[in-house]
Amino acid sequence: MVPDPETGELEQQGVNALIVTPDMEGVEVFENNRAKTGIRGTWQARFRFNDVRVPAENVLHEEGKGLKVALSCLNYGRCTLSAGVTGAAKAARDQGIKWAQTRYQFERPLADFELVQQKIARMSAVTYAMDAMLYMMTGMLDRGETDIMVETAITKAFCSEFGWKVIDEAMQIMGGEGYMTEHELERSWRDNRIHSIVEGSNEVMQSFIFAYGGKQLAEKMVSIQEALLWDFDESIGDNLSRILTAATTPAVLKKALPMGAQLFLGLKPSAPELRSVHAALQEQADTLTSLIQKHSHYFKLVSKWEREDVVKHQAQQARVANNAICLFALASSLSKMDDQLRSGEYGPEFERDRAAVEYLFDWFERKIHQNFGEMRENADESMREAAEAARAHNDTLSSEDFYVHEGSPLGRDAGKEPPTEHIPQFDGDGQDPREVDRAPGETYELDVEDVAEEMAEPTERGNGASEEPSPASDPERS
């Protein structure tokens, strides 16, 4: 809200991004550093804003352009998050495979057993795809492409889900030893769990990918339906005859007839062409274009079957979104392998990657077809009923025995008090941030040598907390 220069009345003029630092008057940090599952090298404080006055010079970018700032931050954040989990997954893959090759059971290395081989192949295929998607994505960013929200959402959803699964599979391969803290996989497992929750949770990403990714096609369908009064309850013949009499312009007819034929006669649009792919990848290229053609067709069919219910039927949205995610993974992997083939650098690493791509195509083609099948026939109805019955039963349980979100309309007091006594609390309630001698907007410069020294010093805390550096022991970080 900004005051109108003439009337003085507050007007909504877009969203503003503001820099607010903890030392500003009215910023109340009421919990400095919450204990959490992983990423313990970062801090999560809780704070309230009490009538905070933000100076005009603290507007980030331009007035009214805050949403743009937030969206570009998300684009970058989704890439850096994906890069982090890709690195962790590749390290877990290599560690997991090494373990499988060197740990013997029944007088054979674990890697000789097919269920372990399945994990190795999956880890190899998805880490290849993660790398490929990330390079595709960051290439788009480097080229300055702006409308990339669907692609960053896809990359984030894929890397966060499959990256964590790779780490989980490596832990499974390592068995009981994988669960032990000293082998480091345990920390990676905890640290990387967060990525499907933050930077837009994966469920929200699935809905976004469906809605925003399908926006243009949906708009085209709606515009034709409206222009030509297409009635989904009527037969093809009735619809087409009405179209033929109602349509007044050749341009509308040109668009509507092919769409009607696709929806009601099952005719698919032609597959896109993929030219100049390395000859060794022609089979995968053909698979990809055929899957893209079907994907576009199924988007229209789902819209026809679900009609306005598609807005609330998120399970259907997720099937379409998951197929879009798999297709982007395949397209990126094809592009990366094409590059590798042309570079001519062959050897065991190349062979691993080549086989990973072949498996990825085989595996994801089946996954995508399974989703197509479930778009038509699925267990969604009984799923909704089961959820409803479980919710009704839950209503009979007293909220006082469970945790309730503090923002719930019931209020936090409606639930039980979270116990904190036995949870290792991290340092951080040392210095009031308002006492730090720093101008608004001034950033803290990290003294790398100080931090390294601190990390070398043993801390007194037990319960696993001592393995993490203590950012709070530097008062300026408060």
C-alpha 32: how far from chain center = 28
Q: Give the separation between CA 317 and CA 375, rounded to whole angstroms.
A: 9
Sequence-distant (6+) residues with CB within 8 A of 446 are none
Q: Least separation, in Å, of the C-beta of 386 and ligand FAD?
A: 17
Q: Which is nearer to ligand FAD, 116 or 324 (CB)?
A: 324
Q: Is 117 in the site for ligand FAD (CB under 6 A)?
A: no
Identify the DSSP state of 34.
-
> Which region, judged by CB under 6 A, interacts with ligand FAD, from 170-178, 198-206, 362-370, 440-448?
198-206
Q: Least separation, in Å, of the C-beta of 203 and ligand FAD?
A: 3
Q: Which is nearer to ligand FAD, 18 or 253 (CB)?
A: 18
Q: Least separation, in Å, of the C-beta of 305 and ligand FAD?
A: 21
Which of 85, 180, 179, 178 has its CA nearest to residue 134? 85
Candidate residues 10, 197, 222, 267; the one interacting with ligand FAD per rule CB under 6 A: 197
Q: Is 201 in the site for ligand FAD (CB under 6 A)?
A: yes
Q: Give the separation between CA 252 and CA 259, rounded to whole angstroms.
A: 11
The one-letter amino acid at 227: A
Q: Give the separation between CA 449 and CA 350, rounded to whole angstroms.
A: 40
Residues 138-177 vs ligand FAD: string with x where CB under 6 A?
A: ----------------------------------------
Q: Which is nearer to ligand FAD, 203 or 427 (CB)?
A: 203
State both tokens at 446.
């990290």
State both tokens at 407.
């923002």
Q: Is 374 in the site for ligand FAD (CB under 6 A)?
A: no
Q: Which is nearer to ligand FAD, 205 or 224 (CB)?
A: 205
Q: Is 73 in the site for ligand FAD (CB under 6 A)?
A: no
Return the bridge partners of 47, or none.
Answer: 29
Residue ranges in 20-59 that form contacts with ligand FAD under rule CB under 6 A: 36, 39, 44
Residue ranges in 311-370 that form contacts with ligand FAD under rule CB under 6 A: 314
Residues 205-224 vs ligand FAD: string with x where CB under 6 A?
A: --x-----------------
Q: Is 203 in the site for ligand FAD (CB under 6 A)?
A: yes
DSSP string, 256-320: HHHHHHHHHS-PPPPPPP--S--GGGHHHHHHHHHHHHHHHHHHHHHHHHHGGGGGT-HHHHHHH
Please answer whether residues 27 and 49 qualify as being in contact, where contact means their C-beta atoms are separated by less than 8 angstroms.
yes
Name the residue with tokens 């959820």. 387
**Site residues, ligand FAD (CB under 6 A):** 36, 39, 44, 194, 197-198, 201, 203-204, 207, 314
